Amino acid sequence: MFDLFLEGLTSVMTFKTILFILLGVIMGLVFGSIPGLTATMAIAITLPMTFGMSQMDGMAILMGLYIGGVSGGLIPAILLKLPGTPSSIATTFDGYPMAKNGEAGKAFGYAIVFSFLGGLLSIFILMLVAPPLATIALKFGPYEYFAITIFALTMISSLAGSSLVKGVLAGLMGIGLAMVGSAPIDAFPRFTFGYSGLDAGFNLLPVLIGLFAVAEIIKASERKIKKEKSIEYKMKGFGFSLVDFFKQGWNGLRSSIIGVAIGILPGIGGGTANIIAYVTAKNQSKTPEKFGKGIPDGVVASESANNAAIGGALVPLIALGIPGDTVTALLLGGLVIHGLTPGPLLFQDNGDVVYGIFIALIIANVAMIAFLYFGMRFFTRILSIPKYILLPIILVLCVVGAIGVNNRMFDAGALLLFGILGYLMLKYKFPVAPVILGFILGPLVETNLRRGLMYSQGDFLPFLTEPIAAVFLGLAALSIIFKIRDNHKKKRKKLESLDNTNNGI
Amino acid sequence: MKLVLKPLVVLLAIMFLTAIIVGCSNEESSSESTGNTEETAEAEQTDEAEESAETVADEMNDSSEDAVDYPTEPITFVVPAGAGGDTDLNARTLGKYLEEELGQPVVISNVTGAGGTVGAREVLDAEADGHTALFFHNSMLLNKILGLVDFSYEDMKLAGIAVLDQGNTFMVSADSEFEDLQDMIEFASANPGEVSIATEVGGFTHLQLLALEKDQDIELNIVDVGGAADKIAALLGGHIDIVPTSLGLVTEYVESGDMRSLGIMAEDSVDLMPDVPTFKEQGVDSSFEKFFFLGFPEETPDEIVEAFSTALEKVVNNEEYVAEANKFLVSPTYMNPQEAFDYMQETEAYYTELSE
Amino acid sequence: MVKKYKDIYASVFLLVVSVIMFIATFSIQKLTVSKIGADFAPKLVAIGIFILSLILLINTIKQVKNPQAVVVDNEDDDDEKGNQPISKLSVLGTLGLLIGYVALMPLIGFPIMTAIYLFLQMYLLAEKAHRNITLFLIISVVSSGVIYYCFKSIFHLRLPSGILG
């Protein structure tokens, strides 16, 4: 292994290859930081340009793009409350409040350092234990997927905010919206009302960017915007002490592990990893009430999980040739076009390239933290551009990104529709994050339920008797019971305190 | 009122402005070009020289672009399948070589959704100028047969078939009890519904299974597991007994000893995979070919389709391209628009018969 | 106080949506062979939305009738910037601009529509004192051109060129 590592190292350590990695990271950061443009799009656009390059150079730039694209999302998430990519939704929850409290520098510091650490951890996991991990992931069939997604859906309850009912309603709306289009498996159209444009349903990106970014922009138009005084953010180092860092150690580690685990399971992906890590951090925290008001723990959880999902998603790709999401599917295409067939023999036949990829990932990760660290001052200066100029331009880029998803104007329309929906939800005080969770997980639940029933020829029992599935369904049940009990307790407390005050009067 | 009026005025103002800008840029370019000719004319000093120069230029234009001026901009291949799959891969490989032939970039645009119908519809509705083409396969026929859409290849102008994939195979994991196809069929007829076999409902492989069930009068447990990558995962994970797929997608697993092929559904043994027995040799009368075709919107001028098809033929006969495609075990095969139409018509009839 | 009525509107709206959803599920085709067809999950979701919005409605009505039990919602309205009132007209203007922008783009084309949209949106968003027409014009035209050029010519994205094409 060490030989291969060295071989990989020498193949990457050329001036040109490193330049390509840096180029990839920068371009990735740009795409990631613009809401509407994502790592997927950056890779899709760049892929054809790599055909003329050598294997290693091509892979170098793609890995740079992947790391940069996922990391760039934290910039607008913290500064503008607009998630740059699906992976940084949860970063907005606490990153933006921190910035509003004048702690943008600190939020950046945490986000950048833990992005780096989460990414690094996942790369090491990828290097050291990819094959056995991938084999475990293979054991997950429809029963297991069904159970695990049901469990993940129960996370909605913790994202609900003040009203559990509204949170669950929002989640159901997400599931319902995902049903528009062709049904899984038999492809019968649902809720298309005869309009063929809806056959493919809604794409995740317009839904997400619409609900989060466009809705925020519409909201901003409620009031005339004045030129704001540019706030000088204090920035010293990463903005936090070593003690602070160690306080976040366990949170960061746990979130990274969640990120890797979700990344490995094909289909669930980075868009949910950050939310689930955030919810877990909140549930495990001693001060859950501080979440959403600008607590570093939230930023740490989200950012370490989304970068850790990168290494996770590469595990089944490198070890077995099975892509888990759109980005890795593109990377698979890239590998094949460069004459490499990912699969069980990749390590054996092209060990040097595989290790080259690992090293390129590590370099890209280092480049990412360096660029972001030195760029921090520059990013906060974006805020000195008046918002009435910044927001319309961001909106145009959202539209471009939406069209780019599937090369259809339809998605631009969908983007608007969801922007309006998101705005109404803000106004009527419905939480938005559960919609996304429902939208991503709902179809997985349904597909795997129906697949499982095809396997068992109509028998429901295996969902409960398969051990992994049973464990997750049990966890889901527990999580619901706890939440309901919690809710009751809270209500009683509130009522009691009300009674007391009433008696006092 | 004012609030409404103002933007309107501004809107008008902008429209004017853009109109002026556009107009100016046109004028500029045209005046520039005339300026150039004037200069040359002055340099030549004679009117005759100028005239002859013009005629030469005209002739050059004529001879170089055989009547049609095509392509004038990048050509988009709409691929109604995700990036990274075999359709995408074939489109990209072909596109790379067509680019050289046509002298314009070929851009792959993945338009996924609803079994490929979204992408196909996109091309039908596209501008019929030969710069948007559909790159698709058998599912075009199936989507119509299954009633998902009401259009098919007849509603397009075919540019031809470019690639055939004859490696449609049944894969089992290496430790499977089925040594060959007959083993499986015997077991299946003794235990109806016991053998689980993967497919995508309504997809190409589904049809293969229906054909097998009909031909051998057996009952299989047909399970939807998703796309090509999901099928590989399901087989490697031991969730399913048999996976029908394309041999080119699983060579790696055959070499590594994780999977075995039960045979391919080809008429005769295929040169690219000489060691693999055909279904026919094993007593099962079922043969399937996956074909990849290119089509344009119906109103596309014939000359353009012809020009494209000629380029396509050249590429398909390009040894370099053939060698690269053979690596994924597919055979570049050129059929001109008429041949392609006949081929697809024949295939459609066969599929319709099977799915009834 | 307003908030409670809002919840009533929302829950009634969702009730209607769930009923429409449920009715629409009956037109979903299904294969006779499979136990759980394409209409199963949509029905379940429709029923779920119905029940929950009913709960929301009942809870809210209870609260309206019995204001004492109202738990004070101290969820802060985060972006309350000063006392400036919300301008519905401005929101409607933005919505109109957005819809016009996307609807006209296939006809008129990305570059022109983007420039128009950018300019009007900036004009609409900015405080009167900051309305700098020349600056807005330059920014709109330049950014529209740059974005169009980048994505169309370098990245080959299929942005509609419209009347310019």
Question: Which three-class secondary structure string do you get for A417-451?
Answer: HHHHHHHHHHHCCCCCHHHHHHHHHHHHHHHHHHH
- The residue that leads in pLDDT, A501 or A185, is A185
B322 part of contact set with chain A, CB < 8 Å? no
Q: Which tokens go with A69?
A: 């694209």
In this complex, which of C49, C143, C158 lies closest to A169 when CB atoms are compared? Answer: C49
In chain A, which among 419-448 make CB contacts under 8 A with chain B? Answer: 447
Q: What is the pLDDT of residues A48-57, one digit of tens each?
A: 788 778 888 8
Tell whether A189 is covered by a domain.
Answer: yes
A459 part of contact set with chain B, CB < 8 Å? no
Q: Is the pLDDT of residue A504 over 80?
A: no
Domain that holds residue A357: 1-140+241-400
Q: What is the pLDDT of residues A158-209, one digit of tens each?
A: 787 778 888 899 999 999 999 998 887 777 788 888 787 787 788 888 998 8
Q: Let me know whether A4 and A79 are in one domain.
A: yes
Q: Is the pLDDT of residue B36 over 50?
A: no
Q: Could C35 and A453 be called an inter-chain contact, meaning their C-beta atoms sit closer than 8 Å?
A: yes
Q: Could C137 and B17 be called an inter-chain contact, meaning their C-beta atoms sit closer than 8 Å?
A: yes
The pLDDT-based confidence of A229 (bands split at 50, 70, 90) is low
Task: Give the pLDDT score at B2.
Answer: 39
B75-165+289-355 and B168-282 in the same fold: yes
Task: Give the pLDDT score at A236.
Answer: 62
Q: Which tokens go with C3?
A: 């908030």
- The residue that leads in pLDDT, A380 or B10, is A380
Query: Chains with ≥3 Cβ pairs under 8 A against A?
Result: B, C
- The residue that leads in pLDDT, A25 or B8, is A25
Q: Let me know whether A86 and A152 are in one domain.
A: no
Q: Is the pLDDT of residue B5 over 70?
A: no
Q: Could B11 and C141 be called an inter-chain contact, meaning their C-beta atoms sit closer than 8 Å?
A: no
The pLDDT-based confidence of A500 (bands split at 50, 70, 90) is low
**Chain C residues within an 8 Å CB radius of B74:** 156
C-alpha–C-alpha distance, residues A22 and A17, integer Å: 9
The pLDDT-based confidence of C3 (bands split at 50, 70, 90) is low
Phi, psi (degrees; rounded to nearest 5) at C77: -75, 100
C-alpha–C-alpha distance, residues B132 and B74, integer Å: 9
Q: Let me know whether A252 and A301 are in one domain.
A: yes
A426, A432 Cβ separation under 8 angstroms: yes
Q: Could B201 and A186 be called an inter-chain contact, meaning their C-beta atoms sit closer than 8 Å?
A: yes
Tell whether A437 is covered by a domain.
Answer: yes
Q: Let me know whether A17 and A71 are in one domain.
A: yes
Look over chain C and give the mean of its residue pLDDT values, rounded to a whole number: 81
Tell whether A409 is covered by a domain.
Answer: no
Q: Let me know whether A1 and A119 are in one domain.
A: yes
Cβ atoms within 10 Å, residue B211: 22
Q: What is the pLDDT of residues B235-266, one digit of tens each?
A: 988 889 999 988 888 888 888 888 998 888 88
Task: Give the pLDDT score at A230.
Answer: 55
Q: What is the pLDDT of residues A408-445, one digit of tens each?
A: 888 999 999 999 999 999 888 899 889 988 998 888 89
Task: Give the pLDDT score at C74.
Answer: 44
The pLDDT-based confidence of B11 (bands split at 50, 70, 90) is very low
Tell whether A291 is covered by a domain.
Answer: yes
Four-CA torsion B68, B71, B75, B80, nearest 10 degrees: 20
Tell whether A303 is covered by a domain.
Answer: yes
Q: How many CB pairs under 8 A join B and C?
A: 33
Look over chain A and give the mean of its residue pLDDT values, rounded to a whole number: 85
Q: Let me know whether A168 and A55 are in one domain.
A: no
Question: What is the radius of gyration, based on Cα positions, of chain A?
Answer: 23
Q: How many domains does chain A divide into?
A: 2
Task: Give the pLDDT score at C128.
Answer: 81
Tell whether A112 is covered by a domain.
Answer: yes
Q: Could A396 and C118 be called an inter-chain contact, meaning their C-beta atoms sit closer than 8 Å?
A: yes
Q: Let me know whether A368 and A335 are in one domain.
A: yes
Q: Let me know whether A116 and A146 are in one domain.
A: no
**Chain B residues within an 8 Å CB radius of C116:** 11, 14-15, 18
Q: What is the pLDDT of residues A270-296, one digit of tens each?
A: 678 899 999 999 888 888 888 888 899
Percent of chain C residues past pLDDT 70, beyond the cut: 82
Maximum average pLDDT range among A92-101, A314-323, A451-460, B268-277? A92-101
Cβ atoms within 10 Å, residue B306: 16
All residues at 6 or more sequence positions from C48 whose CB lies less than 8 Å from its CB, including other chains: A168, A172
In this complex, which of A175, A220, A396 lies closest to C45 when CB atoms are compared? Answer: A175
The pLDDT-based confidence of A501 (bands split at 50, 70, 90) is low
What ipTM did this prediction achieve? 0.88
Beta strands in A169-271 (DSSP E): 181-182, 189-190
Task: Give the pLDDT score at C35.
Answer: 65
Q: Let me know whether A287 and A377 are in one domain.
A: yes
Percent of chain A residues past pLDDT 70, beyond the cut: 94
Strands A181-182 and B106-110 come out as unpaired
Count of positions (residues) in chain B:
356
CATH architecture of B75-165+289-355: 3-Layer(aba) Sandwich (3.40)
Percent of chain A residues past pLDDT 90, beyond the cut: 31
Task: Give the pLDDT score at B112.
Answer: 73
C-alpha–C-alpha distance, residues A254 and A302, integer Å: 11
Task: Give the pLDDT score at B77.
Answer: 87
Q: Where are the domains of chain B?
A: 75-165+289-355, 168-282
Task: Give the pLDDT score at A435.
Answer: 92
- The residue that leads in pLDDT, B308 or B30, is B308
Q: What is the mean pLDDT of residues B230-239?
A: 88
Tell whether A413 is covered by a domain.
Answer: no
Tell whether A333 is covered by a domain.
Answer: yes
Q: Which tokens go with A53?
A: 């390059």
C-alpha–C-alpha distance, residues B129 and A200, integer Å: 26
Q: Is the pLDDT of residue C118 over 90?
A: yes
Q: Is the pLDDT of residue A3 over 90?
A: no
CA angle B294, B300, B301 (to 5 degrees): 120
How near does any CA of chain C get to the CA of B210, in Å? 15
Between helix A387-406 and helix C133-148 the angle, nearest 10°, is 20
Element (H, E) at B213: helix B204-216
B132, B295 Cβ separation under 8 angstroms: no
The pLDDT-based confidence of B146 (bands split at 50, 70, 90) is confident
How near does any CA of chain A get to the CA of C23, in Å? 10
Q: Could C123 and B105 be called an inter-chain contact, meaning their C-beta atoms sit closer than 8 Å?
A: no
Q: What is the pLDDT of residues B309-342, one digit of tens each?
A: 888 888 888 888 888 888 888 888 888 888 888 8
Task: Give the pLDDT score at B215.
Answer: 83
Task: Give the pLDDT score at B56.
Answer: 44
In chain C, which among 75-104 make CB contacts under 8 A with chain B? Answer: 89, 93
Q: What is the mean pLDDT of residues B78-93?
A: 81
All residues at 6 or more sequence positions from B51 whose CB lies less than 8 Å from its CB, including other chains: none
Task: Give the pLDDT score at A49.
Answer: 81
In this complex, which of C112, C120, C133 lies closest to B18 when CB atoms are compared? Answer: C112
Task: Give the pLDDT score at A371.
Answer: 93
Q: What is the mean pLDDT of residues A240-258?
A: 87
Q: Could A222 and C125 be called an inter-chain contact, meaning their C-beta atoms sit closer than 8 Å?
A: no
Q: Could C69 and A498 be called an inter-chain contact, meaning their C-beta atoms sit closer than 8 Å?
A: yes
Q: What is the pLDDT of residues B88-134, one digit of tens each?
A: 888 888 888 888 888 888 888 777 776 777 788 888 887 788 888 88
Q: Let me know whether A159 and A278 are in one domain.
A: no
How near does any CA of chain B get to the CA of A51, in Å? 9
The pLDDT-based confidence of A300 (bands split at 50, 70, 90) is very high
Q: How many CB pairs under 8 A join A and C?
A: 189
In this complex, which of B96, B221, B236 lies closest to A320 when CB atoms are compared? Answer: B236
The pLDDT-based confidence of C1 (bands split at 50, 70, 90) is very low
Task: Give the pLDDT score at B17.
Answer: 41
B196, B244 Cβ separation under 8 angstroms: no
A337 part of contact set with chain B, CB < 8 Å? yes
Q: Is the pLDDT of residue C84 over 80?
A: no
- The residue that leads in pLDDT, A328 or A28, is A28
Please provide the DSSP assignment of B87-147 as one string.
HHHHHHHHHHHHHHHHSS-EEEEE---GGGHHHHHHHHTS-SSSSEEEEE-THHHHHHHTT
In this complex, which of C115, C124, C158 lies closest to B109 when CB atoms are compared? Answer: C158
In this complex, which of C93, C116, C158 lies closest to B14 when CB atoms are compared? Answer: C116
Q: Which tokens go with A162?
A: 């003040």
Q: Could C120 and B74 be called an inter-chain contact, meaning their C-beta atoms sit closer than 8 Å?
A: no
Q: Which tokens go with B162?
A: 């470019």
B82 part of contact set with chain A, CB < 8 Å? yes
- The residue that leads in pLDDT, A18 or A458, is A18
Residues paired with residue B161 on neighbouring β-strands, in sequence order: B293, B335
Q: Let me know whether A164 and A188 are in one domain.
A: yes
Task: Give the pLDDT score at B4.
Answer: 40
Q: Let me know whether A2 and A125 are in one domain.
A: yes
Look over chain B and give the mean of its residue pLDDT values, rounded to a whole number: 76
Q: Which of the listed CATH numbers 3.40.50.720, 3.40.50.150, 2.170.270.10, 3.40.190.10 matches domain B168-282?
A: 3.40.190.10
**Chain C residues within an 8 Å CB radius of A226:** 127, 129-130
Q: What is the mean pLDDT of residues B293-299?
A: 87
- From A376, A400, A424, the end of a domain falls on A400
